[in-house]
Amino acid sequence: MSLIDDAAKVCRNAYAPYSDFRVGAAIRATSGAVYLGCNVENVAYPEGTCAEAGAIAAMVAGGDTKIAEVAVISEGSQPITPCGGCRQKLAQFAEPDVPVLLGTTGGARVSTTVGALLPGAFGAVHMKDA
């Protein structure tokens, strides 16, 4: 199964009673392991979490910290694009050339990279004494 198929499958488990917008994310780590996440909303709206954040948390919990490939899929009419916070979260664990495939459950696809999604990313290099 391809990574985008994994993302489509986990998208079905999203908990999105408030937005009715389900998102699934699949991350392949450099180890080869695949980690999944979906958005999980909350009645206290700001407490909801994005699919990408869930997949990243699963990856770190699974013992991986290097991303090789990302796929994100949603039910919208055009391919989803990760929110700003998720771009920063992905950049924490991925080189700029890491491929990101974005899609809809209807079959639309757009290919990009972590670097293209977050040009000029704030990184460890900007920290004092880094």
Interface contacts to ligand THU, rule CB under 6 A: 16, 19, 21, 23, 39, 41, 48, 50-52, 82-83, 86
Select which of 41, 52, 69, 75 is catalytic.
Answer: 52
Helices (H), 47-94: 51-61, 84-93
**Nearer Cβ to ligand THU (10/68):** 10
Active site residue 41: no
**DSSP bridge pairs for 27:** 35, 70
- The type of residue at 41 is E
Cα 40–Cα 54–Cα 16 angle in degrees, nearest 5: 15
Q: Are 8 and 23 in contact (CB under 8 A)?
A: no
* C-beta closer to ligand THU: residue 68 or 100: 100
Residue number with CB closer to ligand THU (29 or 74): 74
- Which residues are catalytic, by number? 52
